[in-house]
Amino acid sequence: MKFVDEVQIDVAAGDGGRGCVAFRREKYIPHGGPSGGDGGKGGDVILQADRNLSTLLDFRFRPRLKAERGEHGRGKDQHGAGGESFVASVPVGTLAFDMASGELLGDLDRPESELVIARGGRGGLGNIHFKTSIRQAPRYAQPGEPGEQRRVRLELRLLADVGLVGRPNAGKSSLVARLSAARPRIADYPFTTLVPQLGVVRIDLGASFVLADVPGLVEGAHRGVGLGTRFLRHLARTSVLVHLIDLAPAEPRDVVADFEAIEDELRQAAGNLSAKPRLVVGNKIDIPDAADRLETLRAALVPRGCEVLGVSALTGEGTAELVRAMYREVLRAREEAAAQAQPVIAE
């Protein structure tokens, strides 16, 4: 399935039905009078978060969403039926923006949550509402109001607890495959991962967290270089970042310089990514000379307060310790989020 994380769609809610002008003329009703019913309300356009979806691909083939209009009022005090709303399913984590104003319309960050992005027009009142003591036969009714129309940009931001970042070919996909049941593409060339990958890491029964692998970052990613900012935004919802360093690159490089380059991209990226808790992990410790580079990394970063771990995504060495460290940070972030969500009760 093709991964699509941004689309633009046109939405049109249903127009309200017009009110009716009618009069009663039954044989045994001596005085009669106005009997025009109201028009029905137009249907809304609604987005609903579906946990079973992972892409916005469907909207590439259905770029216009339109709800039904309300029925017109009829005689004999009959009101028109409301138009049926159009409900479109989107992945959990979808944001909706108004293209004209740039306003955030809503964030569907919970399964089954709903967002009305275009409201249907109100139905017009029939002439039964306009009868007075001096105007007993009103010959007018209200037209229905038009439904809202707008152009909307949908943006998907994956929901994950831990985000993996690093240069291309650092071994992020291999690590995700080692720690979870996910099977991302793995190869020995840069930018093997072209779309974000999610994997569930299980600690034991009832304990798990979601790990996200985003495409490799290069210098200038925050300006659109490489795969650019398109996938950096998927890290915005993560609680913890794991910065993966290649300890055995194909071309000799300074591992500390690699760390600084990616950290600089995180600082300049939107979403305050550099403020997130961070684990620094050196990969490929099974390769000769990698241990020396790991010690070089630790000597430079431990004094700064960074926790530096060594793993081998190929053999699994060190991954158990890494999983425990990630889960510890995830639990800490969840506890902080729960504390912030609790209302403060004044004594």
Q: How confident is the model at residue 181 (pLDDT cuts 50, 70, 90)?
A: low
What is the predicted pLDDT for the residue at 33?
85
* 80 has a pLDDT exceeding 90: yes
* 347 has a pLDDT exceeding 50: no
Average of pLDDT values for 121-137?
A: 91
* 2 has a pLDDT exceeding 90: no
The helix (H) or strand (E) run that includes residue 322 is: helix 319-341
Average of pLDDT values for 92-117?
A: 92
Q: How far apart are CA 232 and CA 249, in angstroms?
A: 23
Q: How far apart are CA 136 and CA 33, in angstroms?
A: 7
Strands 207-213 vs 104-108: parallel, antiparallel or unpaired: unpaired
Average of pLDDT values for 260-276?
A: 77
- Among residues 146, 140, 125, the alpha carbon closest in space to that of 79 is found at 125
What is the predicted pLDDT for the residue at 70?
95
Provide the percentage of residues in the chain whose pLDDT is more than 70.
86
The predicted model scores a pTM of 0.72
Domains in the chain: ranges and CATH: 6-156 (2.70.210.12), 162-341 (3.40.50.300)
- Among residues 259, 310, 281, the alpha carbon closest in space to that of 213 is found at 281
What is the predicted pLDDT for the residue at 160?
80
* Mean of the per-residue pLDDT values of the chain: 83
Q: How far is CA 145 from the centre of its chain?
A: 32
Q: How confident is the model at residue 339 (pLDDT cuts 50, 70, 90)?
A: confident
22-69 pLDDT, tens per residue? 998 777 776 778 999 999 999 999 999 998 887 888 898 888 999 999
210-266 pLDDT, tens per residue? 888 876 554 544 444 444 456 677 777 888 888 888 888 777 778 888 888 888 878
What is the predicted pLDDT for the residue at 187?
44
- Judged on CB neighbours under 10 Å (0-12, 13-18, 19+), 161 is buried
Q: How far does the chain reach from its first CA to its final CA, in angstroms? A: 55
- Among residues 129, 141, 118, the alpha carbon closest in space to that of 65 is found at 118
